[in-house]
Chain A
Amino acid sequence: MPALADALLTSATAGPLVHQSLIDFNIAGLGRNFWGLTVEGLTYGAIYALVAVGYTLVYGVLRLINFAHSEVFMLGMFGQYATLMLLGFSPSGNAYDKGILLTVLYLGIAMLGGMAVAGGAAVGLERVAYRPLRRRNAPSLVFLITAIGMSFVLQEFVHFVLPRLTGGTLGGVNAQQPIRLVQPEVQFSIFGAPVTNVTLVIIGSALVLAVAVDLFVNRSPFGRGIRAVAQDPVTATLMGVSRERVIMLTFLIGGILAGAAALLYTLRVPNGIIYSGGFVLGIKAFSAAVLGGIGNLRGALLGGLLLGVMENYGQVVFGTEWRDVVAFVLLIVVLMFRPTGILGESLGRARA
């Protein structure tokens, strides 16, 4: 949240000095790179989608936009990084080469580490920040402000406190020196667009996780509890569903997925592990959730993929500096025609 004003300012002032024309309509460039951009966009979109699930579930259950979720994602990045360090990897700009099996194993463990940290952070956040407010029946605006405040707290914790606690190895002003286990290598081409191993891993893992969470929410008893509370908290409580447990579970799922997304994101962007690294991505994921219909699980997944792809097309057509603008303009345009998002708002209820 903190950098919102900055981000808006910088994107508004981006580069009108060098170009003669502010926006170049490079349709030819889009045609030339269409499939490459699509693949890249899907990769990014898959990560947006996983983070968007956290926003959408919490909104569905609590009617709360959890702006601190981007920081949960950021903590997930540090979590998987710390796990890799515990496994004996030392930071270096170069990629390790462990062979496929070991690499997958290590990445799996790192993902568990990221999930543990992010899931723990999300549940802790709920305990420390939101539960006391619920006890006091605080109005929803207070929740929103608290979320923004917690976002600051978590960022500055990693910015200033974490380096003290870890002797400077984690956190601080600079991005973490990357630990890379996978070197992107082109595996095959689709319509001339190279598909790398990293792309495959990201899209594949994201799909598996998305299907898993969808099954969990729609099929399992826990999921039924979540849907029940989303539909009607009072009746759900009367029917013996523990609201507090459902809320905790919701934050946990969101956090776990953010942790998984964090690992996938660092595969793609090894240098992205920095205290401010979650913010823009979080806002995009939130947009993705709104785009698909906030509160709607499948909407979040669809919105994420769509946003990732459109954003990539947009930055070639309009110029790379317009990337964030494209994402938000798309959001506004969609909301003008479908105010509740593409698939509509529903986690359990049909809303009027």
Chain B
Amino acid sequence: MYRTARRASGGAALLLAATLVLAACGPQSQGGDDSTEESTSEGESESGDLMIVPSVQIDIDGAEVPAAEAGEPVDPAGDGSAECAEGTAIAVAGAFTGPNAALGLNIQYGAQLAVDAFNEANAGCQVELKPFDTEGDPQKATQVAPQIVSDDAVIGLLGPAFSGETAATGDVFNQAGLLSLTASATNPDLTGNGWTNFFRGLANDAVQGPSVAKYMTETLGYTSVCVVADNSDYGIGLAEQITSGLGDAANADCAPEVKTGDKDFSAAVQIISGSEADAVFYSGYYAEAAPFVQGLRDGGVDLPFVSADGVNDPQFVSQAGSSSQGAILSCPCGPAPEDFAATYEDANGQAPGVYSTEGYDLATIMLTGIASGVSDRAGLIDYVKDYSGEGLARQYEWDDTGELTSALIWIYEVE
């Protein structure tokens, strides 16, 4: 017994050693593809050349809106003659640590670019961008909010980033009369609180659902869509809006629900492949969407795959690989123009992500306010209320409630 065991393990070790030597010869190439082309792209984690690229903007009826005769976006640098008190600051609040830090940092990095450009051009006015970390957690945010309010140097706030923390702290900022300009909080109810200081720099969730639903039925011409929802607040809420927006086109026999954290969706795939649907909408986050779409493709289901901002993340593409090809992803967030993306990458060592452009645009608006002579909190609120101007992502102009007058949704495609 002993001897045979030893011989077997010896053999296994030999085999292992042999293959390790074999492996040392070089990296394995993806079979089939011409590997020379692949080795030129240095991105070690990108799968092939797939990327999420912006395709069109749509309005709430799902109709494509041609890119506006884009006026020149406002330059944060201005004309370089701005004067302001020493120590003027704007705050940025969001998750800079913790599980959702990526989103908060996207906004902060974007805003920092605008501030740096402003400070460089305007020797007479040096504005500081003060980050306040809420970890995206409403409870932490209620402890951080008083710190922001009591900092007299802060005349405007970029944030809070998430809907939950915004709802929890909105009253504090409103009472303090501090401008709260959010780049990413998309819960529709936030603007219904009567806050006079709150402005939202992008379309809210009540726009995204119907827009995408109508886009699927009207523009893409789908007649029967499986709406798959995960069990997060976001996933359930969005699925409701999509389903009602689709009307008859929502396939009632084919609405499997999945759980966040699941990685295997064979039953849901079975349900979809047994249905007569002509498209699949996934309402949830990329962590589940990637294995889900892979399961669909492996299961031989080639239906178009549509999803929303929760899936609009490079991780989706890198995890799902070629299965993500052709996926249609919506987002209220605007794409980053090339120049901006290059500057951003130089400064931060990473490509701009979701809400980076919004962070930049909204910081720019506050900076132009400061450049125009605004020096206190009330003045900045008035300035933003009457603001109208072009940004990198879109035209910014707000109605009385603090929503954008024209809130459009971007459609992206993986290709």
* Nearest neighbor of A103 in chain B, beta-carbon distance: B31
- Which residues from 236 to 270 on chain B have a C-beta closer than 8 Å to any C-beta of chain A? 236, 239-240, 243, 255-261, 263-268, 270
- The verdict on B19 contacting chain A, using a C-beta distance below 8 Å, is yes
| Contact (A109, B319) CB under 8 Å given A96-B28, A173-B99 | no
- The verdict on A136 contacting chain B, using a C-beta distance below 8 Å, is no
Chain A's nearest CB lies how many Å from the CB of B10?
A: 13
Contact A271 B319 (CB under 8 A): yes
* Nearest neighbor of A13 in chain B, beta-carbon distance: B231
Identify which of A52-60, A61-69, A233-241, A318-326 touches chain B.
A318-326
Question: What 0/1 pattern do residues 104 to 124 of A give for CB contact below 8 A with B?
Answer: 011001001000000000000
Contact A93 B15 (CB under 8 A): no
- The verdict on A343 contacting chain B, using a C-beta distance below 8 Å, is no
Question: What 0/1 pattern do residues 123 to 143 of A give for CB contact below 8 A with B?
Answer: 000000000000000000000
| Contact (A220, B1) CB under 8 Å given A15-B236, A90-B44, A92-B321 | yes
* Nearest neighbor of B317 in chain A, beta-carbon distance: A93
- A44 and B229 alpha carbons, distance in the complex (Å): 23
Task: Name the interface size band of chain B.
Answer: 35 or more
* In the complex, chain A residues whose CB is within 8 Å of the CB of B304: none
- Which residues from 305 to 334 on chain A have a C-beta closer than 8 Å to any C-beta of chain B? 312, 315-316, 319-321, 323-324
Residue in B50, B259, B265 whose beta carbon sits within 8 Å of that of A10 in the complex:
B259
| Contact (A87, B28) CB under 8 Å given A33-B270, A93-B321, A268-B264 | yes
* In the complex, chain A residues whose CB is within 8 Å of the CB of B224: none
Task: Name the interface size band of chain A.
Answer: 35 or more
* In the complex, chain A residues whose CB is within 8 Å of the CB of B294: 93, 270-271
- A270 and B295 alpha carbons, distance in the complex (Å): 10
Residue in A15, A36, A97 whose beta carbon sits within 8 Å of that of B229 in the complex:
A15
Identify which of A175-183, A207-215, A294-302 touches chain B.
A175-183
- A323 and B298 alpha carbons, distance in the complex (Å): 21
Contact A90 B298 (CB under 8 A): no
Contact B266 A312 (CB under 8 A): yes
Chain A's nearest CB lies how many Å from the CB of B158?
A: 25
Contact B19 A87 (CB under 8 A): yes
Contact A320 B243 (CB under 8 A): no
Contact A91 B45 (CB under 8 A): yes
Contact A93 B28 (CB under 8 A): no
Question: What 0/1 pattern do residues 295 to 330 of B give for CB contact below 8 A with A?
Answer: 000111000000000000001011111111000000
* In the complex, chain A residues whose CB is within 8 Å of the CB of B349: none
Chain A's nearest CB lies how many Å from the CB of B44?
A: 7
Contact B319 A178 (CB under 8 A): yes
* In the complex, chain A residues whose CB is within 8 Å of the CB of B44: 90
Residue in A17, A36, A173, A276 whose beta carbon sits within 8 Å of that of B270 in the complex:
A36
- The verdict on A351 contacting chain B, using a C-beta distance below 8 Å, is no
Residue in A10, A40, A93, A105 whose beta carbon sits within 8 Å of that of B266 in the complex:
A40
- The verdict on B48 contacting chain A, using a C-beta distance below 8 Å, is yes
Contact A17 B240 (CB under 8 A): yes
| Contact (A93, B236) CB under 8 Å given A10-B259, A109-B15, A269-B263 | no
- Which residues from 1 to 15 on chain A have a C-beta closer than 8 Å to any C-beta of chain B? 3, 7, 10-11, 13-15
Contact A221 B1 (CB under 8 A): yes
| Contact (A272, B263) CB under 8 Å given A112-B12, A173-B99, A320-B271 | yes
Starting from the known contacts A92-B48, A221-B1, A269-B263, 17 additional A-B residue pairs (CB-CB under 8 Å) come to A18-B240, A32-B274, A37-B267, A86-B20, A87-B19, A88-B27, A93-B294, A174-B287, A177-B45, A177-B318, A183-B298, A184-B298, A184-B299, A271-B291, A315-B267, A321-B259, A323-B267
Q: Which residues of A contact B (CB under 8 A)?
A: 3, 7, 10-11, 13-15, 17-19, 29, 32-33, 36-37, 40, 44, 86-99, 105-106, 109, 112, 173-175, 177-178, 180, 183-184, 186, 194, 220-222, 268-272, 274, 276-277, 280, 312, 315-316, 319-321, 323-324
Cross-chain pairs A/B with CB under 8 angstroms, 15 sampled: A17-B240, A18-B239, A29-B271, A87-B23, A90-B28, A92-B47, A93-B290, A93-B323, A97-B31, A109-B15, A174-B315, A177-B319, A316-B267, A320-B257, A320-B267
